[in-house]
Structure 1
């Protein structure tokens, strides 16, 4: 992998293959020894087979929509709108791409929504 556009395309293909549940296409993007991490739950999955099983077995009728992707030669960051039923959550996904173009590491950040603490209403507006 030697261009930013290839990394960007890999990132978009990753999300699209997940959204379509196109597991053969998804597997072709993922390194055999991939590492998948979820910092909020402190979970780590090692290997493409286990990572695939994680996605296949993930509960609910979930859907992914890319809001933004930023890439360089070997890394991509995705801001996703993740939907399960009527619930929406923003997620940030970081991808690391190996020299052969396969995704070697995925880090998913699933921020929890919360009300802001009192005392800063004079500084911030709610949206």
Structure 2
């Protein structure tokens, strides 16, 4: 592959990553589970370092989100993409409570999300009731 072709590929990957990151937040916010499913690889991995939880697989990740309690809302404040990676700074609201969260997305060569790392401001113990969906590390 020539240098020019490689640069075009990086630009295409970056544009795809940026669009995918915006779509990820939009689909979560609208609770569009079938749309979100189409954005993820079958073997997507979702990690939350603050609770040391990991979810493996699209179906389990979707169930985690559909079962998540509260009237939560997401709004992207910043999206940065580079190649097959995107980082999001999110305004997260549950009722009157507001938090900032950082989310890192990694894309497959086909532009689908294959890894999500969700960083919250403070470590916390995970709520009970989701043990069947996650593994702890």
TM-score range, shorter chain: 0.7 to 0.9
| Paired residues of 2:89 and 2:100 also in contact (CA < 8 A) | yes
Secondary structure of the structure 1 residue equivalent to 2:42 = strand
Give how far 1:4 is off: 1.2
Give how far 1:73 is off: 1.5
In 1, distance between residues paired with 2:14 and 2:61? 25
Equivalent in the alignment of 1:7: 17
Q: How does 1:1-127 map to 2 (within 5 A)?
A: 2-112=12-122
In 2, distance between residues paired with 1:4 and 1:37? 22
Residue ranges of structure 2 left out of the alignment (5+ in a row): 1-8, 124-137
TM-score by length of 1: 0.86
Q: Where is the helix percentage greater, Structure 1 or Structure 2?
A: 2
In 2, distance between residues paired with 1:46 and 1:3? 24
Q: Report the number of matched residues.
A: 113
Shift >2 Å, 4+ stretches:
none
State the superposition RMSD in angstroms.
1.3
TM-score by length of 2: 0.80
Residue ranges of structure 1 left out of the alignment (5+ in a row): 114-127
